[in-house]
Amino acid sequence: MIKKNIVGIASGGGHLSELQNIIPKSIKNEITYITCKNGHTKESLKEEKHFFIIDPHISRFKYFINTCQAIILFLKLRPSIIISTGAGIAIPFMILGYFLGSKIIFIESGASISTLSKTGEFMYKYANLFIVHYTHLLDKYPNSKIGSL
Amino acid sequence: MKILCLTGTSHYQFNRLVKSVDVTLGPKYSVIIQLGNTNYKVKYSESFNFCKKNELIKLITKADIIITQGGYGSMMDSLLLNKKVIAVPRKLELNETLHDQTEHVEYLSKKGFLIGCYNIDNLSSLVIKLLSNEVSLSSFKPESELKIKTIVEDFIDRKIKL
């Protein structure tokens, strides 16, 4: 069995719930999570391998810190696959992965019905697999896969 | 009658929702409000900022009605536990969020999974309607998770074998 280095990265709250909900059982033991640190995430990731990274939200300075942390974590984990549901917290890590040979899976939030989130819009051209929930998003972004039934 | 109000983990305040729940419902019902980053001083209800996920699930389970922001996590946690949910979307123009929640709330509300509340003044009348069973809700089915799991799994299998 080939070792898979898989990283799941998302901001705390709904994005993280969404990511945890769509992780298939077959990779549950191989995934390392990266998220922001708060009481809620500490608890829900208690039994998973995880690291914390600063949530930049809209601050450029925090994006800089986030990028530095992303570089350190990337060198440590060397993921072959990166899975994310957003938001901005995950962008530097995914871009690093894109240039250093990881495969990027981006799953747009189920909350985005007719327009992509800002992170999704940005990541569309970098993701190797881009999943949306709704058919009218599929029309607008034809390289996506549709996740809805 | 227990009401639980959720504002999630957003960086933004949601005074509009918290104030309305506290003032109009707090004196009449047993109300608990998860304030998140909202700093409104609650007068008539119990409140706290954040809690651990398993504690939140317990609170949701115990509540009769959930009044929540229109955030993905808060709504899904409540719907997956088959709760009666009223969702109030955070609005971009009121500086309550980076990503307007109206569209997702409208989508879930059209499917009949929850009640969307777009004007905060209607909140208490919606609670009364829900209590008197004037509106019925259909039980929630998580539509897309399974399919996404399969797509992700196939992709990983293919990439790892290559």
Out of B76, B143, B155, the one facing A129 most closely (by C-beta) is B155
State the CATH architecture for A6-21+29-146: 3-Layer(aba) Sandwich (3.40)
Split at pLDDT 50, 70, 90, the class of A1 is very low
pLDDT tens profile A37-75: 876 777 778 888 999 999 998 889 999 999 999 999 999
Whether B162 shows a pLDDT value over 60: the answer reads no
Contacts of A6 in chain B (CB under 8 A): 156
Q: Which two tokens stand for residue A52?
A: 């914390």
Q: Position B116: which residue type?
A: G
Q: How far is A13 from chain B (nearest CA, A)?
A: 6
What does the mean pLDDT of chain B come to? 92
| Complex ipTM | 0.88
Structure-block tokens of residue A61: 């300075």
- Locate the chain B residue with the closest alpha carbon to A116: B99
Tokens 């959930």 sit on residue:
B66
- According to the model, what pLDDT value does residue B66 have? 97
Residue B142 scores a pLDDT above 80: no
What's the pLDDT tens digit per position in B32-72? 999 999 999 999 999 999 888 889 999 999 999 999 999 99
CB B117 within 8 A of CB B88: yes
* CA distance to A1, A64, A103, per residue, from B160 (Å): 10, 32, 10
- Is the pLDDT at B146 greater than 90, yes or no? no
- Contact B51/A40, CB-based, under 8 Å? yes
Q: For residues A55 and A34, is the Cβ–Cβ distance under 8 A?
A: no
Helices (H) and strands (E) counted in chain A, each on its own, are 6, 7
Instruction: Delineate the domains of chain B, giving CATH numbers in brackets.
Output: 2-161 (3.40.50.2000)
Would you state the pLDDT for residue A39? 66
Q: Is the dihedral of CA A16, B66, B146, A1 positive or negative?
A: positive
CA A59 to CA A47: how far, in whole Å?
31
DSSP bridge partners of A130:
A106
DSSP assignment of A23-48: --GGGTTTEEEEE---HHHHHHTTTS
Q: If you average pLDDT over every residue of chain A, what do you get?
A: 89
Compute the count of residue pairs across chains A and B with CB atoms less than 8 Å apart: 120
A148 pLDDT more than 70: no
Query: What are the residue ranges spanned by the domains of chain A?
Result: 6-21+29-146
H or E stretch at B110 = helix B102-110
Q: Do B148 and A22 touch (CB under 8 A)?
A: yes
Work out the average pLDDT over A78-98: 95
Q: What is the mean pLDDT of residues A22-35?
A: 90
What pLDDT, on a 0 to 100 scale, did the predictor assign at position A99?
Answer: 96
d(CA B139, CA A83): 30
The band of A2, judged by pLDDT with boundaries at 50, 70 and 90, is low
A149 has pLDDT over 60 = no
B113: DSSP letter: S
Single-letter residue type at B37: N
Main-chain phi, psi angles of A97, to 5 degrees: -60, -40
CB proximity list for B78: less than 8 A, separation 6 or greater: B6, B60, B66, B68, B85, B114
pLDDT of B129 reads 93
In this structure, are residues A13 and B8 in contact, taking their beta carbons and an 8 Å threshold? yes
The structure's pTM equals 0.85
Which residues partner with B32 through β-bridges?
Answer: B4, B46
Neighbour count for residue A113 (Cβ, 10 Å) = 17
How confident is the model over A108-127, as pLDDT tens digits? 998 888 889 999 999 999 99
Kindly report, residue by residue over A130-147, the tens digit of the pLDDT: 999 888 898 889 888 887
Give dist(CA A49, CA B13) in Å, integer: 32
Contacts A16 to B, Cβ<8 Å: 73
**Nearest residue of B to residue A84 by CA position?**
B152
Strands (E), chain B: 2-6, 30-34, 46-48, 65-69, 84-88, 115-116
pLDDT at A145: 87
Model confidence band, residue B144 (pLDDT cutoffs 50, 70, 90): confident
Q: Report how far residue A117's alpha carbon sits from residue B14's, in angstroms, rounded to the nearest whole number.
A: 21
